[in-house]
Amino acid sequence: MSNERNNEETQNLKKMSCEHKIEMIEVKVGSFNGLLFEELRLIVIAIGFLCLASVCSNYIVINFTFICMKNDYTESYLDQNGTVRSVYDYSSGEKKWIMWAVAAGTIIGTIPINLLYVKYGARYPFLVAGIVSCISTAFVPLAARANFFILILLRFLQGLAYSADFAAIGLMTVRWAPLSETATFVAILTAFTGISSVVTNSFTGLICESTLGWKYAFYLHAAVGILLFVIWTIVYIDHPEDTKRVSQKELGHIQKNKSDAHLDRNTSVPYGKILTSPVILCVWVNAFFEMSAVIMFSSYMPIYFHEVLKFGITETGFYVALVLFSYMPIRFVAALFSDKFTMISEKLKIMIFNTFAVGGSGFFFACIGFIPAEHKMISLSFFILTMCCIGVNSGGFYKCGVLHARQFAHVVIAAIQWMKCLALFSAPALVAIFVSDESNRLQWLWVHLVLGGLMIIVRLLC
């Protein structure tokens, strides 16, 4: 009897020990999952940012490959003067149409894609846009060799896909950002233009100089984009409250201080009030001129560095990446300051940030035109100063639009996208008016002076 009792007690102790171990494992797993769930909004913003950058990179990769393509004589012809020319050596007029095709696609796509976002959310419309962007990018080298009009069509499709970017930013911010993190969310998500330019120009320069050649820049961009959008489909949920992956603590943080109207899924968008709001109109005007400077940089800085400042191809890629990356630290510091510093009013903070973002960047942009070509590093410094001023825009007109429009912020930010579409026309048009010789600095001077002067005037008036 004693032995049986001892065996039974031993078995019970073993059972209790196993149960205790299982409980400990469950606690550890629960803690790990809790940590993951508490930060789900950060995972969403990270994958969203990478997808935004991918779509942007797909359309800007050709801006750098223009430098490499004209030296590719695998496909060539004799021009009217009997000179052998590459079929990939585009004139300034042809480059203008290649730029404008993206702008046309973006302008046409902005409104219908925004309506799709309002009705279906961002998950699947943004996925379709991403796939279209990647497929059209993969076929650009073939179209460049085969037919100029097919190339224009593919660029148009890239523009249609790109029109989905800014509405996605607005929806992710509205759905996933706490009000206390608005500027930070906007700063991270709108940084996709700079980051995509840095990565694209750096790697494209290396690829062009490698044995792979410029065509692989398009193939690799397309492949990476497909992978990112597969992850997007797995990770992104339109409403945080619809998934068990979001803890109640994080959900409470996301929804803190948001009104019932902000959280209501069925509220109709008051387009009339938005379109006639003086505040929103001011946001859009500031956005247009600031976007014009950004487009000028992303589209023509490689050409200016290579043709005017006479940097080599690898140097051009490095310095363009340096300029476009230089504003990132300032961007995030400015966003945190805007969100966390409460000693002054939101209105005053927005005015200060917008003065730097539009007026300050306009001043430095105008100054670039007066710097002689032999002073390369001074020119480079002023390019960096311009981008650093642009970097604080998340605390300026972006934050103003989000806070003023609240639950309809995605509509306002989508309209900023439309301003960017206009800038995709205005920037190439400005270059076409003043620049016939891309190596002539005095012709570029007028581009910098006109756009920079207009930015200063707009900030003074609005």
Q: What is the pLDDT of residues 369-380, one digit of tens each?
A: 899 988 999 999
Tokens for 283? 């946001």
- Which comes out higher in pLDDT, residue 224 or 22? 224
Question: Is pLDDT above 70 for 452?
Answer: yes
Question: Is pLDDT above 60 for 241?
Answer: yes
Rounded-to-integer distance, Cα 396 and Cα 357, Å? 7
- In angstroms, the first-to-last Cα distance of the chain is 95
User: Which domains are delineated in the chain?
Assistant: 42-72+88-255 (1.20.1250.20), 272-461 (1.20.1250.20)
Query: What's the alpha-carbon Rg for the chain, to the nearest Å?
Result: 26
Structural contact between residues 113 and 125, judged by C-beta atoms closer than 8 angstroms: yes
DSSP string, 141-174: HHHHHH-HHHHHHHHHHHHHHHTHHHHHHHHHHH
Tokens for 273? 């009030």
Q: What is the pLDDT of residues 431-450, one digit of tens each?
A: 888 988 888 889 999 999 99
Can you tell me the mean pLDDT for 325-341? 79
Q: How many CA atoms lie within 13 A of 222 on its CB side?
A: 18
Q: Which helix (H) or strand (E) holds 288?
A: helix 278-303
Question: Is pLDDT above 80 for 22?
Answer: no
Rounded-to-integer distance, Cα 391 and Cα 408, Å? 24
What phi, psi does 241 have (nearest 5°)? Answer: -75, -10
Residue bearing tokens 């060539």: 76
Q: What is the pLDDT of residues 189-238, one digit of tens each?
A: 877 877 887 788 778 878 887 788 888 889 999 999 999 999 999 888 88
Q: What is the pLDDT of residues 94-147, one digit of tens each?
A: 887 888 898 889 888 888 887 888 788 888 999 999 999 999 999 999 998 888
Rounded-to-integer distance, Cα 174 and Cα 402, Å? 8
Distances (CA, A) of 34 to 37, 272, 308, 384: 5, 43, 55, 42
SS3 127: helix
Which residues are 86's β-sheet partners?
76
Can you tell me the mean pLDDT for 298-325? 84
SS3 85: strand
- Is-above-0.75 flag for pTM? no
Question: Is pLDDT above 50 for 36?
Answer: no
- Nearest CA to 233 out of 51, 37, 57 is that of 51
